[in-house]
Structure 1
Amino acid sequence: MAIHIPGLIAIVVFYLLIVAVGIWASRKSKQTGSTADSEDVMLAGRNIGLLIGIFTMTATWVGGAYINGTAEVIVSSGLLWCQAPVGYALSLVFGGLFFANRMRSEGYVTMLDPFQHKYGERMGGLLFVPALLGEVFWTGAVLAALGATLSVIVEMEPKPAIIISACVALFYTLIGGLYSVAYTDIAQLFCIFFGLWISVPFALTHEAVSGITANATQNWILPIDTADMPMYVDSFLLLTFGGIPWGVYFQRVLSSKTALKAQILSYIAAVGCIIMATPAAILGAVAASTDWNQTNWPGKVPIPAEDLPMILPMTLQYLCPPAITFIGLGALSAAVMSSADSSILSAASMFARNVYRSLFRSVASEREVLWVMRVAIFGVTALALVMALCVESIYALWILCADLVYVILFPQLACVIYIESSNTYGSLAGYVMGLFFRVAGGEPAIGLPALIQYPGYNSKTYAQPFPFKTLSMAITLSSLIGMSYLTKYLFESGILPRRFDIFQCIVNIPDEQMVLASRDSVDERTKFGLYGKENGGKVNPALKFSNEDLITTGELESDSETATSEKRGSIQ
């Protein structure tokens, strides 16, 4: 296979540009002193401005799978099935409306902080598993998409391209943390925008394209069958609400200077996601309206289903001049790395803070946590590389990451923020029940058989048209709420003895947790937060409370006067 030298040179120049921006951003990080503190590396000192926040939030969502998938689904199923741009845009809107303000006001550092604060360190560590898998599968999917793109345009083996791209993202993420990720996102977003839009007029005017409006209703604006409506609604809800509980999203929210700016950047980034998907959608419509027999495409016509995931790079390769093709290739490479670096940093941050420090080394210093995070960056990158190199179906990775987050994490996040009576028992019950029903529904994309055959199950294709993913999410939510209220009633009414409160979250609460609950009662926590520092790094004087404050807190009340006196004596 002969490699296109001009295309290879274009890729090298682009990667050198990204590395240069990453190194410059890492120097900015060192000048502000943020490399001495793990929290500052994770969140760039909570000093991300509104404009940079909008760019990095948009670039994070607009990944290689997002761009390639938009064009692919328009060719294969029609415009109405192109749900990802609208679904993810709505997820940013709902995230800004219902979660961004609360999470940023509390001063959390990662998405898992509220879970560990309310449900305990072990439950938070358990919830790290779907969060980690989501980030790893997402990164693997976008890296695999890049490999497919380069194999079409540059005609090089996909595996070396995947490895080199991952190493580039690893390098600048490692040296600069969120500073490097955010500033490289700006460069990458501009490359995506101009690289795709500059390709549109050349593709539209190619002689093999009959015009995207001529037979639109036959080529790319296709109706949705009535039988597919339940599956359509299921997929749309998955994209919308499953797009909220991602570590990469909350990393940008929590790095904002204020809670209001965290909300605003969510809303504007939602518009950015639609804008960035528009040229890919147009190129998809062009591909669906093209007579591929009039091009140099060496494959079969009509294009077989197994080649459709590469339809966007094919359009750039065979419908645009070489120079424009390589610019578009840079855009696709930018889309991949803008998502990969964010997911890698997010997963590594959650591991270092919510697993290593919370579960194994509560006395770990900031320097130690920072080094653990750096090691975790290597680990997450290696896992994503394995997925990208070994898993044949990019679509299967996409399904896995989206389903785990939607079914398990979204109801958990909603309850930890809005259901005051939710507890560890409910969280564990929801986790187990939701996971069981999702796995029992099967997944043809990865060869997982269905244990539960819902109405409309197709025994030949193993497809489940019934919206069982949303049902699984609802089971997680109802199990969490139901078990929380049930255990709260059983323990507080005395039906179950307090010694059976093994998670120590209802009646058998340790003194140190009651002290933390007393701190929570301070209104000033909304400004400084229990889990983070104020922008200036000053300690909140409002969190200095007296023994009398602790004694009068309702959390210290006991069933008997004797127990109250004992607790009072132990605190004093």
Structure 2
Amino acid sequence: MAVFVEGLIGVIIFYIIILVIGLVAGRKKSSSADSQFLADRGLGLFVSSFTLSATMVGGAYISGAASEIATKGLVNTVAPIGYNIGLAIAGLVFAPKVRREGYVTIFDPLQLKFGKKMGAVLFFNELVANIFWEAAILGALGASLKSIIGLDMNVAVITSACVAVVYTFFGGLYSVAYTDVIQLIFIGVGLILALPFVFTNKAVDLSRVEEKWFGTVESEHVGSYIDTFVIVTFGGIPWQSYYQRVLACRTPSLARNATLISIIYSMGLFIPPALIGLAGASADWNATSYEGTLPLSETDWESILPMVLQYLCPTAVSVIALGAMSAAVMSSADSIILAVGSVVARNIYQNILRPNASDREIVWVFRICVVTVGALGTIIALTVQNVYGLLVLCGDLMAVAQFPQLVCALWLKVGNTYGSLMGMIVGLLMRILGGDQVLGIQAVIHYPYFDPKHNKQIFPFKIVAMLCSLATIVIVSYITHFIFKQNYLSKKFDIFNCFQDQVEKEITPDQHENSVMFSSVNNEHSSEETVKEKASDAMLDNTDL
């Protein structure tokens, strides 16, 4: 396929615009760790709401919405609705509390409650999920650029990753937040522009889908449907990429309000790809220039969005809409890179490996992580075929294993390492042993109503695994707290040193450090903010930038 030169030039111009905006925004403040991770906690309502929405509206959100609408109907397109409900819960319940405490990352409360090393263990699942998420969206973008303008996929993926890495490397959250604003605008304009051309194309006849666009849920699949919806909802809550923006907001109430406004943006940007998916399902592909096999294969349906843009729109419009897809991908890729780099630099390097590291040293560890994560995601995107399946599994594990940990870290008074470790093990085992259709993992545990023919769980076992993980953390934490505090078991058996501070002579420097490692953060953002924010919230919440 020959390269469409005009389209290539358009994409290059778009990338240059994003890169320049990212680099300029990154020069706003100093290159300190606080600036890199949290934009000096100075984001206002306008920028924070846009960047919060951009963490949701990525390449998978847009392409996935189009594909699901086209193949399964609206009622089965649970991810956008579920994620936004989860975002609302996070904004109303989690965000104000987390911001009020003045943490640096969402793994700070996990390390405070369960210990520094246990907090690092809990990060592993999110690390893997983030890298596969990055690989999945980069791979999808590469396939789209190859399809529409004939650009080699390797070049497309590597270039896209490099742009996101460069401005994140130099500007941290400032660069990511301000480029998110531009990217979100590009997404809306590009996809909306394509709609009139799509629906006026002679190949599109909506009467073909008028009886099936809404979709159906078979009665025997209600359990698994509820399972998916609930897991998607709660699995979207514990991600660092979301709390990075929350913790960068000026006040707790602004973090809440920005989250709720971002939901309006996100749901609005669900509509154009949903309509494009509907058009793809109702199109007569024989009447287009499409030369592939018919009926469309499963792979074609997964790429229905770029196919519609390519075959049902004029070339110029396709290129503009492709810019919207590029924007969606980069708005997700930079969030992933930033989130992982911040946690590694803060919660692993500073809190565990080098407690006395200088600010400059932490910033450079962050930057090295940015490059490393960008490179790993790129390599996986170019070499692994079933990235999406691994991403789905990691998303499930975030809900099953990570969400209960966050709930207990924030609200469980006696939570400890023993409860956290056992809760994680129980949740992971129940989820993995339940099998997975996408990855072809055979079920070891057959929950009620199991379908052996299709290796499918009908029972909502993921919800059960999540609740069992939560219950295990609570029960084991209370039991170990009771037996050690009441001296039913000698503290010499306290292998995780959770209760050594009960006896002053047994306190070690490392344990003392664990108890105060965030004291400077909390001192800075507790008493002072409690007094000042009540008087200033209303004014700050209405400040745009």
Instruction: State the Cα distance separating 1:401 from its structure 2 match.
Output: 2.9
Residue 293 (structure 1) aligns with: 286
**2: distance between equivalents of 1:389 and 1:401?**
19
For 1:251-286, what per-residue CA distance to the aligned partner results, in whole angstroms no more than 9, with x for missing partners?
000000001101111111111110011100011111
1:88–1:270 CA contact under 8 A, matched in 2: no
Unaligned 5+ runs, structure 2: 534-545
Could you tell which deviates more after superposition, 60-69 or 383-392? Answer: 383-392
Structure 2 SS opposite 1:28: coil
For 1:52-111, what per-residue CA distance to the aligned partner results, in whole angstroms no more than 9, with x for missing partners?
001111111100011000000111111111111111111111001111011101110001
**2: distance between equivalents of 1:215 and 1:476?**
46
Residue 403 (structure 1) aligns with: 396
Unaligned 5+ runs, structure 1: 537-572
Q: Normalization by structure 2: what TM-score?
A: 0.92
Residue 553 (structure 1) aligns with: none
**1: distance between equivalents of 2:517 and 2:439?**
48
Residue 262 (structure 2) aligns with: 269
1:148–1:158 CA contact under 8 A, matched in 2: yes
* Larger of the two Rg values belongs to structure: 1
- Note closer, same or farther for the CA distance 1:5–1:521 as it changes in structure 2 (3 Å cut): closer
**1:206 and 2:201 matched:** yes
**1: distance between equivalents of 2:518 and 2:272?**
48
RMSD: 2.4
Residue 96 (structure 1) aligns with: 91
Instruction: State the Cα distance separating 1:391 from its structure 2 match.
Output: 2.0
**1: distance between equivalents of 2:50 and 2:140?**
22
- Note closer, same or farther for the CA distance 1:165–1:504 as it changes in structure 2 (3 Å cut): same
**1:50 and 2:45 matched:** yes
Match of 1:303 among 296, 303, 306: 296
Match of 2:131 among 116, 130, 136: 136
Residue 363 (structure 2) aligns with: 370
**1: distance between equivalents of 2:34 and 2:288?**
53
For 1:318-363, what per-residue CA distance to the aligned partner results, in whole angstroms no more than 9, with x for missing partners?
1111111111000000000000001101001000110111111111
Percent of aligned pairs with the same residue? Answer: 42
Instruction: State the Cα distance separating 1:535 from its structure 2 match.
Output: 11
**2: distance between equivalents of 1:261 and 1:215?**
46
**2: distance between equivalents of 1:454 and 1:147?**
40
Instruction: State the Cα distance separating 1:520 from its structure 2 match.
Output: 9.5
Aligned length: 528
- Note closer, same or farther for the CA distance 1:477–1:86 as it changes in structure 2 (3 Å cut): same
2:76–2:216 CA contact under 8 A, matched in 1: no
Match of 1:278 among 271, 278, 288: 271
- Note closer, same or farther for the CA distance 1:157–1:514 as it changes in structure 2 (3 Å cut): closer
Residue 505 (structure 1) aligns with: 498
**1:435 and 2:428 matched:** yes
Residue 542 (structure 1) aligns with: none
Give the letter for the 2:232 counterpart: L
Matching of residues 459-478 of structure 1 within 5 Å: 459-478=452-471
Could you tell which deviates more after superposition, 37-46 or 440-449? Answer: 440-449
- Note closer, same or farther for the CA distance 1:382–1:525 as it changes in structure 2 (3 Å cut): closer
Matching of residues 105-120 of structure 1 within 5 Å: 105-120=100-115
**2: distance between equivalents of 1:44 and 1:519?**
21
Match of 1:391 among 375, 384, 398: 384
Instruction: State the Cα distance separating 1:511 from its structure 2 match.
Output: 6.6
Instruction: State the Cα distance separating 1:507 from its structure 2 match.
Output: 5.0
1:138–1:401 CA contact under 8 A, matched in 2: no
Residue 119 (structure 2) aligns with: 124
Residue 540 (structure 2) aligns with: none
**2: distance between equivalents of 1:372 and 1:9?**
35
**2: distance between equivalents of 1:504 and 1:468?**
34
- Note closer, same or farther for the CA distance 1:458–1:515 as it changes in structure 2 (3 Å cut): closer
Instruction: State the Cα distance separating 1:134 from its structure 2 match.
Output: 2.0
**2: distance between equivalents of 1:10 and 1:123?**
47
Instruction: State the Cα distance separating 1:516 from its structure 2 match.
Output: 7.8
Match of 1:158 among 121, 138, 153: 153
**1: distance between equivalents of 2:372 and 2:513?**
36
Could you tell which deviates more after superposition, 148-157 or 177-186? Answer: 148-157
For 1:193-229, what per-residue CA distance to the aligned partner results, in whole angstroms no more than 9, with x for missing partners?
0000010111011101113xx3544342221111111
**2: distance between equivalents of 1:273 and 1:292?**
30
Matching of residues 237-248 of structure 1 within 5 Å: 237-248=230-241
Residue 562 (structure 1) aligns with: none
2:59–2:329 CA contact under 8 A, matched in 1: yes
1:491–1:497 CA contact under 8 A, matched in 2: yes
2:10–2:319 CA contact under 8 A, matched in 1: yes
Residue 59 (structure 2) aligns with: 64
- Note closer, same or farther for the CA distance 1:191–1:374 as it changes in structure 2 (3 Å cut): same
Residue 15 (structure 1) aligns with: 15
1:89–1:271 CA contact under 8 A, matched in 2: no
**2: distance between equivalents of 1:401 and 1:52?**
29
Give the letter for the 1:11 counterpart: V
Instruction: State the Cα distance separating 1:250 from its structure 2 match.
Output: 0.3
1:88–1:240 CA contact under 8 A, matched in 2: yes
Matching of residues 328-343 of structure 1 within 5 Å: 328-343=321-336
Give the letter for the 1:402 counterpart: G
Structure 2 SS opposite 1:446: coil
Instruction: State the Cα distance separating 1:234 from its structure 2 match.
Output: 0.9
**2: distance between equivalents of 1:165 and 1:519?**
38
Instruction: State the Cα distance separating 1:159 from its structure 2 match.
Output: 2.2
**1: distance between equivalents of 2:153 and 2:458?**
34
**2: distance between equivalents of 1:457 and 1:526?**
52
**2: distance between equivalents of 1:181 and 1:307?**
32
1:105–1:527 CA contact under 8 A, matched in 2: no
**1:181 and 2:173 matched:** no
1:48–1:255 CA contact under 8 A, matched in 2: yes
Match of 1:146 among 141, 153, 171: 141
**1:28 and 2:51 matched:** no
**1: distance between equivalents of 2:515 and 2:152?**
56
**2: distance between equivalents of 1:521 and 1:157?**
51
**2: distance between equivalents of 1:306 and 1:138?**
18
Give the letter for the 2:183 counterpart: Q
2:132–2:388 CA contact under 8 A, matched in 1: no
1:105–1:526 CA contact under 8 A, matched in 2: no
- Note closer, same or farther for the CA distance 1:518–1:13 as it changes in structure 2 (3 Å cut): closer
**1: distance between equivalents of 2:425 and 2:517?**
32
Could you tell which deviates more after superposition, 189-198 or 355-364? Answer: 355-364
2:43–2:250 CA contact under 8 A, matched in 1: yes
Residue 525 (structure 2) aligns with: 528
**2: distance between equivalents of 1:526 and 1:199?**
51
Q: Normalization by structure 1: what TM-score?
A: 0.88
Residue 440 (structure 2) aligns with: 447
Instruction: State the Cα distance separating 1:506 from its structure 2 match.
Output: 3.0
**1: distance between equivalents of 2:370 and 2:160?**
15
Match of 1:380 among 345, 349, 373: 373
2:115–2:416 CA contact under 8 A, matched in 1: no
Instruction: State the Cα distance separating 1:301 from its structure 2 match.
Output: 2.3
Residue 71 (structure 2) aligns with: 76
Give the letter for the 1:4 counterpart: F
1:145–1:394 CA contact under 8 A, matched in 2: no
**1: distance between equivalents of 2:112 and 2:220?**
44
